[in-house]
Amino acid sequence: MTSPYADSPAPGHRTGAVGTGGERTAYGTSDPSELVTRAVGLARETQPWWASIGFAGRRHLLDRWRQELTAGMDDLAAVVRRETGKPHGDAMLEVGLAIEHLAWAARKAPSVLGRRRVGSTLLAAHLAATVEYLPYGVIGVIGPWNYPVFTPMGSIGYALAGGNTVVFKPSELTPQTGQWLADSFERAVGSPCLQVVQGEAEVGEALCRAGVDKLGFTGSTATAKKVMAACAETLTPVLIEGGGKDALIVDEDADVAAAAQAAVWGGMSNAGQTCIGVERVLAHTAVYDEVVAAIVREAGQVRAGLDVNADLGPITLPKQVGIIREQITEAVTGGARVVVGDAPGTNDGIGADSLLTDPERTLQPVVLVDIPEGARIQVEETFGPVITVERVADLNDAVASANAVGYGLGGAVYSRRHGPEVARRLRSGMTSVNNVIGFAGLPELPFGGVGDSGFGRIHGADGLREFCYAKSVARQRFTPPVSMTNFQRRTRTDGIFRAAVTVLHGKRPWRS
């Protein structure tokens, strides 16, 4: 079916694939900042048209994109597997969830962002007021490699639904995934509202400085600081989705078997390369031994490999293998015990081009106990198939321990009686109760962290508003008998105003 909107005057029907590495591109230049500037320019030219078709027009076209993504799910998942090494089923899961979010954002944008009346007050009874959320314009999105569809789509889909156009820089480890998303958008919508720019840090830096109206960054906290510094030069607002060190708390009354299963899946799936992955298990002393035994049983059944039947794929980022091994080795040297897996050496001589062939790239699950106080593995992101299990005296101790890290992204609590109460006390943006990572799959729920995990939100109503600004309008309905906002105001008017404020907010006159 031909879209009634596809014929609209969307300029320059071209997918903005921009390359680095010296090759000439569709834009005829290989200078990263020039390439990015051109992509942002094209996105800016297109944006007024995208905004002008309104919520209904965008929903129509975003629904077509959703259908295109759904039809190509298997193909996209295969690209993700090729680039990250993750099992095909895991790739399908992230694509499916991204599609769910896109549907929700397109459907809910009018009610969340559209103009609505807001109340007045007695003092301002002559004014009628409305608020609506207008698109910033062009949004830059910088994505990571670990969930190269689900994560950036949390910014891209929500920004587009709000009426923005987008320039997306995928991770240099997942360029084809990023290109697939832009190409599918082009097929479905036929306009360059979603541009893709490829390259490493210098292309990301160029995007920060290219005059985008807001930048959505997902990646490590260290890079986030550089991104903020670059954006600060032009006062470009930023959304930061940084790293995490999430804890799963097991209370004394918890379903231990369920908690152990959740800890192992939450910690090991995607080979532990999950920002909201479980990295620490904090078990109440009353059930600690039981929890360790159950986790050992569960983790012992999980196998990493390069074949299609493996539960876990390889470590995508070559240098991460060394970091994971160093953290384990340091903890073991300080007294930690390995209860699942082998204590590895620190060999990290791994080639970047051996993702799906080099067995050195796969790390088998590791579970550690008796962690020495102050070990890096307790506070730094490990980002591998490794979990630590610590004993805590009670729930207060568990909360204090979970909160004693700089990160504050997600987490989980297993408790029959105290789940929601403990969830509220955890200093993190999201917590699952008797479930793990569930919050990521609910489009209504905002996604994001506090502290070193960043600020701002993707997903949900907050995620839609993140890419728009509030526009407030106050319209005078009638001339007020007493007006404070002109130079004709006299002492009598000031007195009336003072009396009105006192009646409304001060001591009652008859009591004075």
What are residue 281's phi and psi, to 5 degrees?
-110, 130
Which residues are the active-site residues? Answer: 241, 275
Segment 308-337, which members bind ligand NAD (CB under 6 A)?
317
Helices (H) and strands (E) in the chain, counts: 16, 18
Applying the rule CB under 6 A, the residues between 108 and 147 that interact with ligand NAD are 142-147
Is 107 a binding residue for ligand NAD by CB under 6 A? The answer is: no
Give the position of tokens 């799959």: 441
Backbone angles phi, psi at 134, to 5 degrees: -105, 150
Among residues 60, 226, 297, 425, which is the contact residue for ligand NAD, using CB under 6 A? 226
Contacting range for ligand NAD; rule: CB under 6 A; set: 9-17, 53-61, 218-226, 307-315: 218-226
Decide if residue 200 touches ligand NAD (CB under 6 A): yes
Distance in Å, CB of 307 to ligand NAD, minimum: 25
Per-residue three-class SS string for 268-305: HHHHHCCCCCEEEEEEECCCHHHHHHHHHHHHCCCCEC
In the complex, the smallest distance separating the C-beta of residue 154 from ligand NAD, rounded to whole angstroms, is 7
Only one of the segments 10-18, 220-228, 459-467, 471-479 lies at the binding site for ligand NAD (rule: CB under 6 A); that segment is: 220-228
- Pair 154, 459: CB distance under 8 Å: yes
Q: Which position has the token pair 């909160």?
A: 403
**197 contact partners, CB below 8 Å, separation of at least 6:** 16, 18, 35, 36, 39, 167, 168, 169, 203, 207
Give the H or E element holding residue 451: strand 450-451
CB of 95 to ligand NAD, least distance (A): 15
Is position 266 an interface residue for ligand NAD (rule: CB under 6 A)? no
SS3 20: coil
Q: Percentage helix, strand, coil, to 5, in the chain?
A: 45, 15, 40
285 secondary structure, DSSP code: T
DSSP 372: P
# of chain residues touching ligand NAD (CB under 6 A):
31
Q: What single-letter amino acid sits at 428?
A: S
- Taking the CB of residue 498, how many other CB atoms lie within 10 A of it? 11
Shortest CB 34 distance to ligand NAD, Å? 17
To ligand NAD, the closest distance from the beta carbon of 130 in angstroms equals 33
- Binding test (CB under 6 A) with ligand NAD, winner from 241, 246, 251, 298: 241
User: Could you tell me which stretch among 4-12, 198-206, 349-357, 418-426 binds ligand NAD (CB under 6 A)?
Assistant: 198-206
For residue 215, the cross-strand partners are 140, 238
Q: How far is the CB of 246 from ligand NAD (least distance, A)?
A: 10
Nearer to ligand NAD, 92 or 317 (CB): 317
Binding mask 144-163 vs ligand NAD (x if CB under 6 A, - otherwise)? xxxx---x------------
Residue 463 CB burial class (10 angstroms; 0-12, 13-18, ≥19): buried
Least Å distance, CB 341 to ligand NAD, is 22
Separation CA 264–CA 261 (nearest Å): 5
Q: Does 381 bind ligand NAD (CB under 6 A)?
A: yes
Contact 352, 316 (CB under 8 A): no
Return the range that interacts with ligand NAD (CB under 6 A); candidates 120-128, 241-249, 305-313, 484-492: 241-249
The reply on whether position 244 binds ligand NAD by CB under 6 A is yes
**Residue ranges in 275-294 that form contacts with ligand NAD under rule CB under 6 A:** 275
Residues of 169-184 as b/e, b for ≥16 C-beta within 10 angstroms? bbbebbbbbbbbbbbb
Q: Which position among 46, 47, 171, 198 is part of the footprint of ligand NAD (CB under 6 A)?
A: 171
Site string for ligand NAD, 391-430 (x = CB under 6 A): ------------------x---------------------
Minimum distance, C-beta of residue 147 to ligand NAD, in the bound complex (Å): 6
Nearer to ligand NAD, 203 or 292 (CB): 203
Query: Rounded to the nearest 10 degrees, how much is the dihedral formed by the CA atoms of 365, 361, 454, 177?
Result: -120
Among 365, 379, 382, CA closest to 317:
382
- Tell which one of 186, 205, 246, 298 touches ligand NAD (CB under 6 A): 205
Positions in the binding site for ligand NAD (CB under 6 A)? 142-147, 151, 169, 171-172, 200-201, 204-205, 208, 218-220, 223, 226-227, 241-244, 275, 317, 381, 409, 449, 453
